[in-house]
Structure 1
């Protein structure tokens, strides 16, 4: 298995990624275009891509992104590794690549069920996370 890591949104098949997220029960309702815009508007992005010699082409099997003020604070979101590719170091490498692009910044993240994983990467529990949706989710749902 040859995994390549891309730090750009170029050449990502957003419709295919959306379908893969849905199939892996990791879809939050964004359309392929909204998914693309989310990543394009991020400070740092990473994609784990499996190269295929078949007619399928390359396939995204992991993704992560960070929002940042470019000075001192960043927030990691959208970390996902396709179920069939978990426990192979892909998410660890994506998190390392994100951190390389956020030097000198305090990196925050929120997780529902992977606290042990992030603790293993050096993240520590801090305060209480709160969230609020303003209006309707994605302005349409």
Structure 2
């Protein structure tokens, strides 16, 4: 296992099938197809993909209006690479592109991690799936 991690902020040469299979093997697959993953990342305001030994080992992306509201999603680090600062680096890379914006995210198992990065718990969040999950036009 290499100690060198490379961070890519473009979507050039991303192997979406590799991303899908790696996410699934690491229990972080929400059911998107490789094509849906590509569209999700392509339609994002900013993205970061972490690589080690030419393998995808981390992802993070942000949805934003570019003015005042942003939402960080798909933050993931391959289990055997966790606790090495990879997610922290990816989050900081995204935050650097969001000056002046209210940044929100949802987590139910990494609260302390995000608090260390300056995020504050919010008392209420609501959600709605329109129609059937992952059955949109993508």
Fold similarity call, TM over 0.5: yes
The equivalent of 1:47 in structure 2 is 49
- How far is 1:139 from its partner? 1.1
Equivalent position to 2:58, from 59, 62, 85: 62
1:9 aligned to 8, 11, 17, which one?
11
| Partner secondary structure for residue 76 of structure 2 | strand
Unpaired stretches in structure 2, ≥5 consecutive residues = none
Measure how far apart 1:104 and its partner are. 1.1
| Post-superposition offset of 1:126 | 1.7
How far is the alpha carbon of 1:127 from its aligned partner? 2.9
Secondary structure at the residue paired with 2:36?
Answer: helix
Moved over 4 A (4+): none
- The total of aligned residue pairs comes to 134
Q: Paired residue for 1:104? A: 100
Q: What TM-score, normalized by structure 2, do the two folds share? A: 0.94
| Unpaired stretches in structure 1, ≥5 consecutive residues | 53-57
Question: If the length of structure 1 is used for normalisation, what is the TM-score?
Answer: 0.92
Give the corresponding residue for 2:123.
127
Per-residue CA distance 1:70-120 (angstroms, 9 max, x = gap) = 101100000000001000000000000000111111100000100010001
Structure-2 separation of matches of 1:46 and 1:103: 17
Aligned to 1:91: 87
